[in-house]
Chain A
Amino acid sequence: QSVLTQPPSVSAAPGQKVTISCSGSSSNIGNNYVSWYQQLPGTAPQLLIYDNNKRPSGIPDRFSGSKSGSSATLGITGLQTGDEADYYCGTWDGSLTWVFGGGTKLTVL
């Protein structure tokens, strides 16, 4: 049972938009930056979003992040079949330990 709650799965059609939520508390999301990771099948996670809403170089602007209170959201527009992956949010909890969400499997129908 993760400290950060994500929906187990989301799905949408190619070209559409999808959002993935990450719900926490004041001890983690509420007072810390959130990052998001994409894990394609059989590969290591890759940083998608950091500091709530910033994209590392090379990450398309189809990916966006936001935070409000103790929740964060990852948005993906113009869905492609190559976006099918597991997505994880992460942040500090109490500033001493790091936590990840339980992960969300994205299916592009």
Chain B
Amino acid sequence: QITLKESGPTLVKPTQTLTLTCSFSGFSLSTSGVGVGWIRQPPGKALEWLALIYWNDEKRYSLSLKSRLTLTKDTSKNQVVLIMTNMDPVDTATYYCAHRDMGIYDDAFDIWGQGTMVTVSS
């Protein structure tokens, strides 16, 4: 059974750096075709894709946020870390991580974490 869980601060100040961790189980990020993505959702608004890291350490970033985002993975700990710099109140959102397996569902995020709400305020 695949599960993912996001963790990190619930409140950050403007200009600070946000670090979120996605801890997962039920799969390995060293398996060919597997990836973990990050998606966020401001209150009452639509989903916005942020970034994706693959088993081979290839990374994809949202073009509009690329300069502020960094993704890393720790295969031994079954974790993916998302770093977002220069936080602004418009970054207030629920942040989700999600599993992707190209060998099963081709182009889709099949399992999502429960999400973690991050508020940016002074």
A binds B: yes
Give A residues with C-beta under 8 Å from B.
2, 32-33, 35, 37, 39, 44-47, 50-51, 56, 88, 90-92, 96-103
Task: Tell me if A33 and B112 are in contact (CB < 8 A).
Answer: no
B49 contacts the other chain (CB 8 A): yes
Q: How many A-B residue pairs have CB under 8 A?
A: 67
B24 contacts the other chain (CB 8 A): no
Give B residues with C-beta under 8 Å from A.
37, 39, 46-49, 52, 60-63, 96, 105-115
Report the separation of the CA atoms of residues A32 and B102 in the bound assembly, to the nearest whole angstrom.
13
Task: Tell me if A50 and B106 are in contact (CB < 8 A).
Answer: yes
Task: Tell me if A103 and B107 are in contact (CB < 8 A).
Answer: no
A102 touching B46 in the complex, CB below 8 Å, given contacts A44-B115, A97-B60: yes
Measured CB to CB, the nearest residue on chain A to B45 is: A103
| CB of B26 to closest CB in A, whole Å | 15
Q: Which residues of chain B come closer than 8 Å to A96, judged between CB atoms? A: 60
Task: Tell me if B108 and A47 are in contact (CB < 8 A).
Answer: yes
16 contacts between A and B (CB under 8 A): A33-B106, A35-B108, A35-B109, A37-B47, A37-B109, A39-B47, A44-B113, A46-B112, A47-B109, A51-B107, A56-B105, A88-B46, A97-B62, A98-B52, A99-B49, A100-B47
